[in-house]
Structure formats: structure tokens, C-alpha cells
């Protein structure tokens, strides 16, 4: 059956389904079953929407608080299982479980999968040697927010289906393609059509590149571990080394923040280029009057693009 009937037995920590799901807390178990766990209402909601939930475990309190999610899982064809608090706690990895744990199918594709449209991608994040699952999940979330086309977990990087990584992504794991690559160098061969930028503390000023118009091209960003950055061999694969300038007194930015700044800078540059060159869009004309926030500024557009008026 696709879902447990009302009144079905409440599963305990020793129930076979719970024991099998608990094996997914380890990478070996995940890789063998090609399944992983998503914990909490936000992750479960996105997993159900993505159509990847096979089983949903919930405690009796969640049956009331999250009945909409349970109903949605049933409608999507998942098996749903009421559990004791002890059983649910054995599946959850947080100190205070939120009552829902879903078993999900793997999402990622192989780096050389011909179905992945790498040639059409404009913005990609590659994680190399990043072993902190919280950092990796937060970078994944930032990449999703910036509109990236793909996130690659490269050489020696954490498993994207690690429980902490899934939680840190806040549902973004289910929004964009995730690729696992055994070798970052081999993976970069697939992106021959793009510029490759390596994030490095001693690199060129990110905003100087933006001002020079060097960020609006299709781009692959390479991010290394927070402790050691990119090794010299991997950094040498990039066309340029780029750093986020520190204007205050902080010693550095953490990996997730720096990655978010870099990805947003590229995304903004690419969108500005589209704004200037979208010839089918008629220009907006503003009345010639002063306003509280500024004044009318008319910009002469680049060759080949329509005129534009912008309010500053």
C-alpha cells in the first residue's frame, strides 16, 4: 500500500522500517540504498514537492501539527508511518526533533551524465575539499538564492546527504542539480565553455573585476575549505584567483559568507547584462522631476541595446 491506514500500528525504535531508515544516518548506508534522510517540516515540505519522498515517519504530535505535510506525502505516493517519540528521536539527528523525518531518493547526477546540460549553465559552484557539512549546506543555500544552475561536490568534499548538510541547506538541496564528482580536475573539463574563478584570500579584488565587466560571463566558482582554502594544484586550474576585500577590522570571512558574496556578484553582473541588452523590452520613461530619493538619470546604453532611463 502507498500509505498506512488510519489506526495503523505505531512503530517503535525496534521496528524493521525504523531500523532500516536509521542505517541512512551513515554514508555507507546512504550510498548502498541510494536514499537519505530529511528532517523537519521545511526539508520534508521541499522533498515532497520534489517528488523524492519514499517514506515519512512522524510522531503523534506531528499528526496534528503537520497534518498537511502528511496528507501531501500520502498524495505523492509515499508510505507514512506513525512512530513513538523514542523511534522518531532515533531517526532524528537534532537535540530537539521536530516530529518529521522523510526517507528520500538521491537527487544528484554523475558529473559526466549527458543529461546534465552543462553547456547551458551560466553559474556553477564547485566545492573542493570542504568537509564541514554546515558550511557546505549553507553554500548550497546561497547558490540556490543567487540563482546558480548547479552545485558540484568535488574531491574530498562532504557528502551532500549528510544530515547536517541537508538541514543547513534549508530545503535548497531539492531546488537545483547536485553533482558529486570524484575528481574536481576531471569535472572542470566538462566546463570548458566557462571562465573558472578560484576564491582565494590573496586574489584579485572581486569588485574590481565586476567594475571591469569581467563577471558577466558564464562562470564556475571554485571554493576550498575554510581552514586551508584551495591547494595550489587545484587553484591553478582556474583562470583567475579572486578575493572578497576586507574593508573593516575582521581577519577574514567564513567560507559560506564569502561564497555567497562571490555568487551574488556574478549573478548580479549577469543580470545587469541581460537588463541592458534585452532589446525586446521597451524603455521606461520617468517624469523629469526631482524625487525624494534622488534624481532622474538617463543612461546611454551600450551598442546594440535599447536606451534606458533609470531612477537613482
Please say if the pLDDT value at position 29 is more than 50: yes
Instruction: Say if CB 218 and CB 121 are below 8 A apart.
Output: yes
Same domain, 61 and 199: no
Instruction: Give the helix/strand (H/E) hosting 133.
Output: helix 133-145
Indicate the residue among 60, 79, 105 that finishes a domain: 105
Asked if residue 309 lies in contact with residue 296, where contact means CB atoms within 8 angstroms, the answer is yes
Please report which confidence band the pLDDT of residue 96 belongs to, taking 50, 70 and 90 as the band edges. Answer: confident
Does 309 lie in the same domain as 219?
no
**CA end-to-end span of the chain:** 60
pLDDT at position 205, please? 96
Residues 6+ apart with CB under 8 A from 208: none
Q: Are residues 69 and 162 in the same domain?
A: no
259 and 125, same domain (yes or no): yes
Whole-model pTM: value is 0.81
Percentage of the residues of the chain whose pLDDT score is greater than 90: 67
Q: Given 105, 133, 155, which residue is the final one in a domain?
A: 105
Query: Would 119 be classed as within a structural domain?
Result: yes
Are residue 170 and residue 55 in the same domain, yes or no? no
pLDDT value of position 304: 36
**pLDDT the model gives residue 302:** 37
| Helix, strand or coil, per DSSP, at residue 111 | coil
Calculate the average pLDDT of the chain.
Answer: 85
* Nine-digit cell string for 23: 542505517
Between 300 and 233, name the one with better pLDDT: 233
Is residue 277 scored above 90 in pLDDT? no
- Give residue 265's pLDDT: 97
Give mean pLDDT, residues 17-34.
97
Taking only Cα atoms into account, the Rg of the chain, rounded to an integer number of angstroms, comes to 23
pLDDT score of 111: 54
Q: What is the CATH number of the domain that holds 60?
A: 3.30.1330.30
pLDDT confidence of residue 191: 82
Please give the Cα distance from 236 to 227 (Å, whole number).
Answer: 19
Cell of 225: 575549505
Which of 185, 54, 39, 184 has its CA nearest to residue 107? 54
Which residue range is the domain that position 133 belongs to?
A: 109-276
Please name the helix (run of DSSP H) or strand (run of DSSP E) that holds residue 276, with its range, or none: helix 255-277
Which has more confidence, 294 or 24? 24
Same domain, 262 and 137: yes
- pLDDT of amino acid 119: 75
Same domain, 134 and 256: yes
Q: Output the DSSP codes for 20-35.
A: HHHGGGSHHHHHHHTE
9 assigned to some structural domain = no
In a domain, 3, yes or no: no
| 177 & 143 share domain | yes
Do 299 and 255 share a structural domain?
A: no
Q: Mark which of 105, 122, 142 sits at the end of a domain.
A: 105
Based on the fold, state whether residues 198 and 240 are members of the same structural domain: yes
Q: Which residues of 225-234 are buried (b: 16+ CB within 10 A; e: fewer)?
A: bbeebbeeeb
Compute the distance between CA of residue 185 and CA of residue 52 in angstroms, rounded to an integer: 30
Burial tier of 182 (Cβ tally within 10 Å: 0-12, 13-18, 19+): exposed
| Same domain as 117, residue 56 | no
Q: Could you tell me if 296 and 286 are in contact, meaning their C-beta atoms sit under 8 angstroms apart?
A: yes
* DSSP per residue, 275-300: HHH-TTSPPP---SS-BTTB-EEEEP
Closest alpha carbon to 133 in 105, 165, 174, 110: 165
pLDDT band at 193 (very low <50, low <70, confident <90, very high): confident
Region 23-28: mean pLDDT is 97
Q: What is the structure's pLDDT at 5?
A: 46
Residue 148 has pLDDT above 60, yes or no: yes
Query: Would you say residue 5 lies in a domain?
Result: no
In a domain, 262, yes or no: yes
Instruction: Please report the pLDDT score of residue 298 as a whole number.
Output: 33
Per-residue pLDDT averaged across 17-40, rounded? 97
Q: Is position 59 within any domain?
A: yes
Task: Examine the domain organization and report whether 135 and 226 are in the same domain.
Answer: yes
For residue 177, give the CATH number of its domain.
3.40.1280.10
* Total domain count, the chain: 3
Amino acid at each position: 500500500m502507498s500509505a498506512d491506514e488510519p489506526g495503523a500500528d505505531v512503530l517503535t525504535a525496534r521496528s524493521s522500517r525504523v531500523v532500516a531508515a536509521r542505517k541512512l544516518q551513515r554514508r555507507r548506508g546512504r550510498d548502498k540504498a541510494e536514499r537519505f534522510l530529511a528532517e523537519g517540516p521545511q526539508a520534508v515540505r521541499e522533498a515532497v514537492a520534489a517528488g523524492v519522498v519514499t517514506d515519512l515517519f512522524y510522531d503523534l504530535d506531528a499528526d496534528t501539527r503537520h497534518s498537511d505535510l502528511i496528507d501531501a506525502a500520502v498524495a505523492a505516493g509515499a508510505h507514512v508511518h506513525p512512530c513513538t517519540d523514542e523511534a522518531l528521536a532515533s531517526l532524528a539527528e537534532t537535540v530537539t526533533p521536530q516530529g518529521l523525518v522523510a526517507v528520500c531518493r538521491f537527487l544528484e547526477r554523475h558529473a559526466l551524465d549527458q543529461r546534465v546540460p552543462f553547456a547551458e549553465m551560466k553559474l556553477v559552484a564547485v566545492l573542493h575539499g570542504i568537509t564541514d557539512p554546515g558550511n557546505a549546506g549553507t553554500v548550497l543555500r546561497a547558490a540556490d538564492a543567487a540563482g546558480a544552475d548547479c552545485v558540484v561536490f568535488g574531491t574530498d568534499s562532504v557528502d551532500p546527504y549528510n544530515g547536517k548538510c541537508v538541514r543547513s541547506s534549508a530545503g535548497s538541496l531539492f531546488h537545483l542539480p547536485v553533482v558529486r564528482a570524484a575528481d574536481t580536475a576531471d569535472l572542470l573539463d566538462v566546463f570548458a565553455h566557462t571562465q573558472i574563478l578560484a576564491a582565494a584570500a590573496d586574489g584579485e579584488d572581486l569588485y574590481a573585476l565586476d567594475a571591469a565587466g569581467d563577471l558577466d560571463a558564464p562562470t564556475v566558482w571554485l571554493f576550498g575549505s575554510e581552514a586551508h582554502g584551495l591547494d595550489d594544484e587545484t587553484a591553478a586550474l582556474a583562470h583567475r584567483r579572486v578575493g572578497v576585500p576586507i574593508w573593516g577590522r575582521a581577519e577574514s570571512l567564513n567560507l559560506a559568507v564569502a561564497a555567497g558574496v562571490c555568487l551574488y556578484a556574478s549573478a548580479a553582473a549577469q543580470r545587469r547584462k541581460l537588463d541592458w541588452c534585452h532589446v525586446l523590452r521597451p524603455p521606461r520613461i520617468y517624469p523629469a522631476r526631482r524625487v525624494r530619493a534622488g534624481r532622474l538619470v538617463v543612461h546611454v546604453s551600450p551598442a546594440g541595446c535599447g536606451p534606458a532611463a533609470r531612477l537613482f
